[in-house]
Amino acid sequence: MDNENAISFYIKDGIFAINKISMNTDFDVIIIGGGPAGLTAGIYLARAKMSVLILNEGSIGGQMVLTHQIENYPGIDSISGYMLARTMSKQAEKFGCIIKSNTKISKLELEGEQKTITINDKENFTAKVVILATGGKSRSLNVPGENNFSGKGISYCATCDGDFFQDRDIIVVGGGNSALEEAVSLTQYASSVTVVHQFDHFQAYEHAIEEAKANEKISFVMESEILEFSGEQNLQKVKIRDKDNNIEDKNIDGVFIFIGYIPQTEFVENIVELNSWNEIVVDDKLQTSVAGVFAAGDARATRVRQITTATADGTVAALQAIEYILK
């Protein structure tokens, strides 16, 4: 539950009443994004007695909640992404973070000592430091059934979900470095890996192409695209169309989609420096091109995107934010 208001109770003329007190609008740090990077930063900051507001647009936990089972987070044998997100958010709130969900950033004023953020076109909040932890999302195919079977046979992370497909037949969609490298990685679990790519050539480096072609478990379906995912509780079939418009219904146990990644940075365009992939550019202290504004997690320019790297970023950004404020 969002801590939007403090509540006090009183009795007047023998009637029990509730008085809502508006939430403070001035904070030491405002974190934009409630994924693992943002929540970790909030935990560190709040434990250091900083006042912290976490603004979150969607579900708390970000992309983490889409992972059905997490088994590579240190210290935890197995946990769902939803439960890990819930645990992190409760911990952040326990230390004093205020989490405000269902927020849409309307305006940012990040220059100067006092930063101002407007949400939902009506509420203004100020802070000495802002941490951008908005994450990103894997590019989707946007075909029927994809949303229904995300986490139930469809995955966007081989590291997260590969071992759930031990001795299974799977498909990898894509033709870039990530697709071919992950296809090779997935052969340590799967019986077979079929790479489905819409073009007649790959966009990957030559060594990645050669390694994939040399793997006897991998086959290729070129100039083809997936039209639909179907099944009952879990994914069971995909509909594939080739270059000649022939359509095949293929039984399959799982599909991994690697067709690109979209950082959620549109709202900071022309405010902080972005690279050609619209990722936030930071220095070794995770500070952006604007003083007092830091970035952490999947929204920043980085090659590896995992829950553990996001939490590490959140830690660094929080500690640097504390140092910046105490200066």
DSSP string, 148-183: TTBTTTEES-HHHHGGGGTT-EEEEE--SHHHHHHH
Catalytic residue among 28, 97, 161, 253: 161
Catalytic residue, candidates 160, 253, 298, 313: 160
pLDDT at 81 (0 to 100): 84
Model pLDDT, residue 138:
82
pLDDT tens track for 219-232: 999 999 999 999 99
- Could you give the domains of the chain? 5-137+261-326 (3.50.50.60), 140-257 (3.50.50.60)
Q: Is 97 a catalytic residue?
A: no
State which residues of the chain have pLDDT below 70: 1-23, 66, 68
Residue type, 84: L
Single-letter amino acid, residue 30: I
What does the pLDDT read at residue 1?
Answer: 39
Report pLDDT for 72.
85
Tell which phi-psi region holds residue 242, choosing left (phi > 0), alpha (psi between -120 and 50) or beta. beta
Q: Are 147 and 308 in contact (CB under 8 A)?
A: no
Active site residue 157: yes
Q: Which of 28, 97, 157, 298 is catalytic?
A: 157
Query: What burial class does residue 276 get, using C-beta atoms within 10 Å of its C-beta: 0-12 exposed, 13-18 middle, 19+ buried?
Result: exposed
Q: What is the dihedral of CA 211, 214, 218, 223, to 10 degrees?
A: 80
